[in-house]
Structure 1
Amino acid sequence: MKTSRYTEAQIIAILRQAEGGVPVSQLCREHGMSDASFYKWRAKYGGMDAS
């Protein structure tokens, strides 16, 4: 099974940036990921906090 490029803490930090008003397309370009990955992460990790 393929391991993720990003840790859960990194994913949550990216989602927080989007909540702060940064456009999704800009975040995806900066972090080298697809829009689909972002929306999948938001569905999975949307309400979580980093431990």
Structure 2
Amino acid sequence: MKKVLNTVNKIVKVLKKIESNNEAKSLCKVYNITKAKFNNWRKKYSRMETHQLQRIKELEEENRTLKKMYADISLDNSMLKDFVVMLKDLLGKKS
């Protein structure tokens, strides 16, 4: 079964393993990545230190949290707008 690379830490570990080994082609095959993807990852992640990776992870988590908060607030806002329209209709009918 092919291995799945879904986190920055895993990607960096694989990059280091591939770069330390002359068998890049076979390791790319093991991890089911193309040479182009390997080169892109190498440009993006190979020079990163552990603290930088941790910071990226923290920022990604914060981004997910903020996106969820935004979605919740947008839904609340939409419901409140609908409620205001409904109240205006009810008050308009009573006058």
TM-score range, shorter chain: 0.7 to 0.9
- Let me know the Cα RMSD of the aligned residues: 1.5
Q: TM-score, structure 1 length as denominator?
A: 0.75
Residues 20-43 of structure 1 deviation map (CA, whole Å, 9 limit, x = unaligned): 214211111101111100000000
Structure ranking higher in helix proportion = 2
On the 8 A contact 1:12/1:49 being kept in 2, the answer is no
Q: Who is 2:34 aligned against? A: 34
Aligned pair count? 47
Provide the secondary structure at the position in 1 that maps to 2:21.
coil
Percent of aligned positions with the same letter in both sequences?
Answer: 28
Instruction: Tell which deviates more after alignment, 21-30 or 31-40.
Output: 21-30
Q: 1:14 to 1:22 in 2, by over 3 A?
A: farther
Q: Who is 2:20 aligned against? A: 20
Provide the secondary structure at the position in 1 that maps to 2:36.
helix
Q: Which has the larger radius of gyration?
A: 2
Return 5+ residue gaps in structure 2 as ranges. 55-95
Return 5+ residue gaps in structure 1 as ranges. none
Q: TM-score, structure 2 length as denominator?
A: 0.44
